[in-house]
Amino acid sequence: MRAMHVSTRNPDGKPYDSPTDTAEVKLVLKGIRRESARMGQTPEQADPVTADLLRTVAGGIGRGSTMGIRDAAIVLLGFASAMRRGEIAAMRVEHVIPTDKGLLIRIPLSKGDQEGEGQAVAVPMARDPGLCPVRALREWLQILRKENMLEGRVFREITTADRILPDSEGLTPESIGRIVRKRADAVGLEGRITAHSLRAGFATSALLKGAPIPKVRDHLRHTDVATTMRYFRDLERFLDHPGEGLL
């Protein structure tokens, strides 16, 4: 319902009021969640790919091919930007702005931007060249430039001959998820790994490092800090744990 809402606008270009924002609908959804929990059914959550796990996944991607360069950029950017898979898929070359400190990525429309005002995500350089999302994305953009693909979608389909599909309209959000899962499988990563695992992994790693919750919230672009706090509450269970060091 929300996905339909974001793409449905009135003649003035503003989105219509979301039907999921009404008190009646919220009450129904709450009841559904309560009943599901009573019956032992809980929503599946993606397991976070933390910074340490990211090192393993990225290290398993060979960068000697066009596909490897593309996939490395997707995985590293997905973590560092904490963008949603749909936002990664929708990225356009003209949305990537180089700066002295890294890259600025413009997002014209996203889940948390109900007014369609546009958002921007800062992606800083990393100390480790092999894990740097900025270097990885620049390397991929260089390949696009060589193919004279100076505008349009950043991430595109690649043929079995390791060539960018000339008439590719860009990867879908589902394709982004499959690539992340494939690269995680390749290094034996277990659990429920999805594209959201990169976003969750960034939040988890940043909070573990002691990053201020408001800063993490801003980077994730959560409209409600309670959403960010979900990641923190899971981590809190391990802080000052009475069983730590017993064995």
CATH number assigned to the domain comprising residue 116: 1.10.443.10
Q: 78 is in which domain, residue-wise?
A: 51-189
Q: Is residue 217 part of a domain?
A: no
Q: Is residue 208 part of a domain?
A: no
N- to C-terminal Cα distance for the chain?
49
- Given a cut of 60, whether residue 229 has pLDDT beyond it is yes
Mean pLDDT over 224-239 rounds to: 73
In terms of pLDDT, which residue wins out, 52 or 238?
52
Contact call for residues 213 and 225 (beta carbons, < 8 A): yes
In terms of pLDDT, which residue wins out, 231 or 98?
98
Q: Is residue 183 part of a domain?
A: yes
- Given a cut of 80, whether residue 114 has pLDDT beyond it is no
How does the average pLDDT of the chain come out, rounded?
82
Range scoring the smallest mean pLDDT among 70-79, 103-112, 184-193, 196-205: 103-112
Closest CA to 174 of 59, 89, 50, 247: 89
Q: Domains in the chain: how many in total?
A: 1
What is the per-residue pLDDT for 92? 96
The secondary structure of residue 19, as a DSSP letter, is G
In terms of pLDDT, which residue wins out, 7 or 38?
38
Q: Is residue 66 part of a domain?
A: yes
Mean pLDDT over 128-149 rounds to: 97
Q: Other C-beta atoms within 10 Å of 245: how many?
A: 6
Contact call for residues 123 and 21 (beta carbons, < 8 A): no
Q: Is residue 245 part of a domain?
A: no
